[in-house]
Structure 1
Amino acid sequence: MSLVEPWRQDALLAGASRRWVRWLPWVVAFVYCAALMPVTLGVLNADYNLNAGIAGTLAVIQTVPLLYAVIRPLQAWCIVFAADVVGALALLTADTAGYAWPFPAMEIVGLVLLCLAVGLRESRRTLVLVWATTIVAGVGLTFLAPDSTSNTAATVIVLSAVALILGAALRERYDAQRRLAEQETISEAERSRRTLLEERARIARELHDVVAHHMSMITVQADTATYRLEGLSPEVQEEFTSIATTARASLGEMRRLLGVLRSEDADGELTPQPGLADIGRLAEATTRAGVPVDVTTCEIEVPETVGLSAYRIVQEALANVVRHAPGAPTRVTVSAGDEKVLVLVVNGPSPEPPESPLEDTGTGQGLVGMRERVRLVGGSLETGPLPDGGFRVAAELPTTAKDFT
């Protein structure tokens, strides 16, 4: 960042949206400085017969701070006003007969411009102090006014008050517009959030109406199959019981998730979330679905978020095996490393690829969901096919992850 950049950020009207408005104070200050300096020098030296050296010094001090007023208007006003008072005292030694005193016309222009800049930046209390200082100085100099001079102290007091009030009004109007724009931005964000919540609730209702009905039908049909169908072998009856149990568990979990979508105060949030200890039961359910799963786990205390992420990763990986490689031997390994939990799910090729897979198209949301869960806990994920036709999912989750559930 250049040295000029901070000055631009602190300058008057630096927050304006249009570029020419941001540059306007600099242009005005430069034009007035370039115009007032030679005029001030000429008037003090030629009209008031003030010494050329003193006139040149006063001209510089009374005009150059106008450039500084763009970023520090109050400090610039203090410098110029003090120089004007000193100049008024210096003019007492010159020929002021018939001329304006204590503030010549060019000094009045500079003071009014500075008061406008101060009004744009400072608080009301500061503006009152600036005007009070102007009144005190003007009244005090009036008692020293030479004869046959045009006293301009009252003019400076009135014009400075007008400039201060105008600057304050413009600043307060700008602040009000800025606060209104910020409030509109906040309101828009709130409307977007409310729209999102309403959409989530609508999706939750639709999911419940569509999915829950079919899951309930599967559960009822599986539970009553042994009574409705005669001659079922014990193995088939056990299979129907397993289907009913799995469907009932899935229905309960789905209802808990839909409850979260529908209401932040849903009772489903009181139910403990699955973790590392539930991976074994998950593997058993997958084995009953026809995919042999070999599970190796370790007992380790981890935050609930990490345990839930590991469970969901294994759940999604096994679901992918069932969908895309039915019957493929699968190995699930959960081990503890150096402050990390390593989750590995590896499956081989399907022993007898079906003529048509259970799902001939994939949404890709499963892997996306895995990566999102791993990212939230600060871990890493690697997925990819194996040379023998299988697939590998490897996740590394830190045990120090914060619990956000």
Structure 2
Amino acid sequence: MNDSDPARHRPGTALAHGVRQALLPGPDDPPGARLPWPLWARVLFLTLLTGATVGLTGGTIAIPLTVFRPPPPTTVAWLLAAAQVVPLLASARWPLAAWRVSALGFLVGGLVLSGRYFFPWPVPGWIAFLVLLFLVALAGAREATAGVGAVTIFGVIAPVVLVGAMPGWFGVILSGMVVLALILGDAIGGRSSAEAELRVRTEQHRQDLARQAVLEERARIARELHDVVAHHMSVIAMQAEAAPYKITDMPPAARQTFEVVRDAAREALTETRRVVGLLRSDDEGAERAPQPGLERLDDLVATARRYGLTIEVAVVGMPRSLGAGVDLSAYRIVQESFSNAARYAPGSAVRAEIHYGPQALRVEVTDDGPRGEAADSPGGGENGADKHGGGHGLVGMRERVTMLGGRLAAGPRGPGWSVVAELPYGDPD
């Protein structure tokens, strides 16, 4: 029966399934008791379990031979002790299989040793059985635990009471012990399972947030680059349309070629606007707003200074014409770096260096650590920048640099923070 079957969750059906799982080996058997402790604690537990098994086995052999009257044959005492207690050794790895062997040993022992003592099972053996029940509940699903309890009470204790091997009131006490051992194991195992599930879900939630941040940044980059692409496509369309008027005596084939270029540019522009329109928010003015570049670096510096930062800007090398993507990405990286500094290092001294290298533009922004109370970021909360990588700021930087085939390094530097991006020039516009 499938776990998603609603009938599975009815009490009677669930108990029946638990009994089947308890009695019949199968793929649903729990792989082992949940031991959520560090390695040294697990080793200590297994060592104590081994020592307890040896001691309890000895007691389970000795008591029938010395206390029961008449005592059973020595071979019988040894075999019953082996069946009842020795499975405890395997209980940490195969608890349900160990319980099956031990329960059968107790049923046989209760019937074989009937009438020799008011309690047909040696006390050490019963203690081992309770420990085994605890480990079964610690490892198993709740249905299997309920099935183990039902089989133990009605399949092991009840038959021994019915044949007169022990009083009924004592059987009730033993049944209560069984229930308590199973409840304790289920409570501890359930908490451990819940904590493990919570850790898994927390990690999944963190990964989902990271993926969402990446997708949001990619959509934002796409919206921004759409304006750049739209400008160039518009220029292509206008130039293709104007070419026949600028060039006299243009052959019909050339005129037709320019018409194809014009129509293709217009169609591409229309499709681009339609697709990117799906990524836009309610800000309709964004499509008409020009995208910024490093020519607006002074505006960024002025804004950051109003938020209490001390800004120093250095331009190294010979400035050159930049592609629209490189120019926009460099601006956004500086903007996010200033935003992070205002948020996480208020009052700090920030140095921004724009280095025009032979093959790539190098953008480096560093701060010397916080000196005051945090303020709202000068970036205006455009993308929830998080200096330590938990928000969209570093995610956006990384996406922009990756898009251009560059490199990004961000991390602590002394008491402050550093962001270094290398953006290959590519083909200038």
TM-score by length of 2: 0.48
Q: Contact between 2:130 and 2:181, CA under 8 Å: does it hold in 1?
A: yes
* Residue 266 of structure 2 corresponds to residue 246 of structure 1: no
Task: Provide the residue aligned with 1:64 in structure 2.
Answer: 86
User: 1:43-122 to 2 correspondence within 5 Å?
Assistant: 43-48=63-68, 49-92=71-114, 94=116, 96=117, 101-122=119-140
Structure 2: how far apart are the matches of 1:75 and 1:154?
A: 25
* Residue 52 of structure 2 corresponds to residue 32 of structure 1: yes
Q: Note the C-alpha offset of 1:61.
A: 1.4
Q: Contact between 2:84 and 2:105, CA under 8 Å: does it hold in 1?
A: yes
Structure 1: how far apart are the matches of 2:141 and 2:244?
A: 85
Task: Provide the residue aligned with 2:188 in structure 1.
Answer: 170
Q: Report SS of the residue matched to 1:70.
A: coil
Structure 2: how far apart are the matches of 1:50 and 1:30?
A: 26
Structure 1: how far apart are the matches of 2:223 and 2:279?
A: 15
> In the TM superposition, what whole-angstrom CA distance separates every residue of 1:104-153 from its partner, at most 9, and x where no partner exists?
32122111112112213444444334333433443543466579x99853
Q: Note the C-alpha offset of 1:159.
A: 1.5
Task: Provide the residue aligned with 1:138 in structure 2.
Answer: 157
> In the TM superposition, what whole-angstrom CA distance separates every residue of 1:349-387 from its partner, at most 9, and x where no partner exists?
xxxxxxxxxxx9699x99x9xxxxxxxxxxxxxxxxxxx
1:10 to 25, 31, 37: 31
For the aligned residue pairs, the C-alpha RMSD in angstroms reads: 4.3
Q: Relative contact order (C-alpha < 8 Å, sep 6+): which is higher? A: 2
Distance 1:184 1:146, change over 3 A: closer
User: 1:383-402 to 2 correspondence within 5 Å?
Assistant: none
Q: Contact between 1:13 and 1:21, CA under 8 Å: does it hold in 2?
A: no
Q: Report SS of the residue matched to 2:33.
A: coil
Q: Note the C-alpha offset of 1:257.
A: 4.9
* Residue 218 of structure 2 corresponds to residue 200 of structure 1: yes
Q: Report SS of the residue matched to 1:132.
A: helix
User: 1:254-293 to 2 correspondence within 5 Å?
Assistant: 256-257=271-272, 259-260=274-275, 263=278
Structure 1: how far apart are the matches of 2:244 and 2:146?
A: 93
Q: Report SS of the residue matched to 2:79.
A: helix
Which sections of structure 2, spanning at least 5 residues, go unmatched? 1-26, 281-357, 362-401, 406-429
Structure 2: how far apart are the matches of 1:182 and 1:254?
A: 45
Q: Note the C-alpha offset of 1:11.
A: 2.6
> In the TM superposition, what whole-angstrom CA distance separates every residue of 1:39-91 from its partner, at most 9, and x where no partner exists?
22222223334432222222211122112333432332232123223323443
Structure 2: how far apart are the matches of 1:142 and 1:198?
A: 69
Distance 1:143 1:174, change over 3 A: same
> Number of residues paired by the alignment?
256
Distance 1:17 1:153, change over 3 A: closer
Distance 1:33 1:203, change over 3 A: same
Work out which of the two has the higher radius of gyration on C-alpha atoms and give 1 or 2: 1
> In the TM superposition, what whole-angstrom CA distance separates every residue of 1:201-248 from its partner, at most 9, and x where no partner exists?
212221222221233134324433555x5xx44249986885674365
Residue type of the alignment partner of 2:225: L
Distance 1:237 1:262, change over 3 A: same
Residue type of the alignment partner of 1:63: V
Structure 1: how far apart are the matches of 2:168 and 2:77?
A: 20
Structure 1: how far apart are the matches of 2:202 and 2:267?
A: 42
Q: Note the C-alpha offset of 1:177.
A: 3.2
Structure 2: how far apart are the matches of 1:177 and 1:258?
A: 48
Q: Note the C-alpha offset of 1:163.
A: 1.2
Residue type of the alignment partner of 1:11: G
Task: Provide the residue aligned with 1:41 in structure 2.
Answer: 61
Q: Note the C-alpha offset of 1:155.
A: 3.6
Distance 1:59 1:196, change over 3 A: same
Distance 1:190 1:41, change over 3 A: same
2:209 to 178, 191, 196: 191
Residue type of the alignment partner of 1:80: S
Q: Contact between 1:119 and 1:167, CA under 8 Å: does it hold in 2?
A: yes
Residue type of the alignment partner of 1:180: L
Residue type of the alignment partner of 1:141: V
Structure 2: how far apart are the matches of 1:89 and 1:114?
A: 21
Structure 2: how far apart are the matches of 1:226 and 1:150?
A: 110
Structure 2: how far apart are the matches of 1:246 and 1:123?
A: 68
Q: Note the C-alpha offset of 1:101.
A: 0.9
Structure 2: how far apart are the matches of 1:65 and 1:22?
A: 18
Structure 2: how far apart are the matches of 1:23 and 1:58?
A: 28
Distance 1:169 1:361, change over 3 A: same
Structure 2: how far apart are the matches of 1:198 and 1:233?
A: 50
Structure 1: how far apart are the matches of 2:229 and 2:85?
A: 79
Q: Contact between 1:102 and 1:145, CA under 8 Å: does it hold in 2?
A: no
Structure 2: how far apart are the matches of 1:188 and 1:244?
A: 52
TM-score by length of 1: 0.51
Distance 1:32 1:152, change over 3 A: farther
Q: Contact between 1:101 and 1:145, CA under 8 Å: does it hold in 2?
A: no
Q: Contact between 1:80 and 1:111, CA under 8 Å: does it hold in 2?
A: yes
Distance 1:108 1:101, change over 3 A: same
Task: Provide the residue aligned with 2:391 in structure 1.
Answer: none
1:216 to 226, 234, 245: 234
